[in-house]
Structure 1
């Protein structure tokens, strides 16, 4: 659902929202990876596929969707 929602928001202005989506995906994964490596938090391995240390797909879909919704429907202008 977050991928479909993100698609409809990015479709409105693909340059601005597409860039925001990519920045959020990259920075979210980097920050999450650093926090896991430092030991601030961890994930239960039985819920993560392929014995990964973190859920890359969830971070790449849910977090950017929340950011896009927050920026798109914010009452204040972000310019």
Structure 2
């Protein structure tokens, strides 16, 4: 039967959202914090674009590399937890 009724749909297992396994999420958080700390804040889209480029260029390359190097540990934690939570 093809009526999309729940009993007739195959069950798919979806993995949990794992922002910790995506280093760019941490970079976005840092970028947002830097933008929030700007005084005065951007007043329009043009100022926001300029501020984003300035703050992006000011991000610490060492911090980004630290995030990249942490991926092995993060992935191992997920494997050890059989795909479950890695933090309580």
Q: Please state which band the TM-score falls in when normalised by the shorter chain.
A: 0.3 to 0.5
Larger Rg: 2
What is the TM-score normalised by the length of structure 2? Answer: 0.34
The higher-RCO structure (CA 8 Å, 6+ apart) is 1
Higher helix share: 1
TM-score, with length taken from structure 1: 0.36
